[in-house]
A and B are shown apart, each in its own frame.
Chain A
């Protein structure tokens, strides 16, 4: 099974920087001429840790006994991370808390339209970038200014 370990390690290296799309949603779009549309974008992210990657790496790098013990320990840890979720587990969900305030701060005199919400993961070995990205238009009534 040595080749399997090597394959795991090689795939981890090759999949560096891969982007995984979990969810995308397009909202309603007000394209009437009486509004000036200004594109805005915000992105928030948090570091996720993929214990499966840690298990694969430890299997590849450690000897059989140590690898097995580490695998068991990590498997035990994973029991605390069960449940439906997208991407790897993060240790704080606070990063999306102020997303609405951040959007509104970029559009104080108008309303938001054409909201494109993207939930994605940027994959690196072990560490994952769990990202929420919102692209939208700030619709400002003509003559109202910014």
Chain B
């Protein structure tokens, strides 16, 4: 393997293997005792440099969770906002994940009101 090939191999290796994830914010609501039915919603946006002209991609997360829990209560919601950097923040993704538990039946003990 000559020097040129080594350089190309190194560059490709760097491009393919360098990435890191940063956690921006995390939040959690009260967790129910009944934790059998987990629900999850995810919203993400791929970005080139920092070009992002709205944050509307997160708007449907609540309705996504609602759809997974008809006639129930979604509780214990863990919301995680992370930034995945693929290469020097030229290509990166913002990802918001919400996971929770769908509680059905009598849910008066869930702290809602």
Contacts and interface: CB of A to CB of B under 8 A. Distances in A.
Interface of A: 14-15, 17-33, 111, 113-114, 116, 118, 120, 135, 137
Q: How large is the interface on B (under 10, 10 to 19, 20 to 34, 35 or more residues)?
A: 35 or more
Contacts of B107: 32
B69 A29 contact: yes
Given A17-B53, A18-B50, A111-B113, A32 B71 contact: yes
10 closest residue pairs by CB, A with B? A29-B74, A26-B98, A25-B27, A114-B62, A21-B55, A23-B25, A26-B79, A33-B71, A31-B66, A19-B54
B65 A18 contact: no
Contacts of B77: 26-29
Contacts of B79: 24-26
Contacts of A28: 29-30, 73-75, 77, 100, 110-112
Indicate the member of A19, A28, A111, A118 with the most B CB atoms within 10 Å: A28
Contacts of A19: 52-55
B66 A29 contact: yes
Contacts of B113: 111
Contacts of B5: none
B66 A116 contact: no
A28 B110 CA distance: 10
A31 B71 CA distance: 5
Contacts of B70: 31
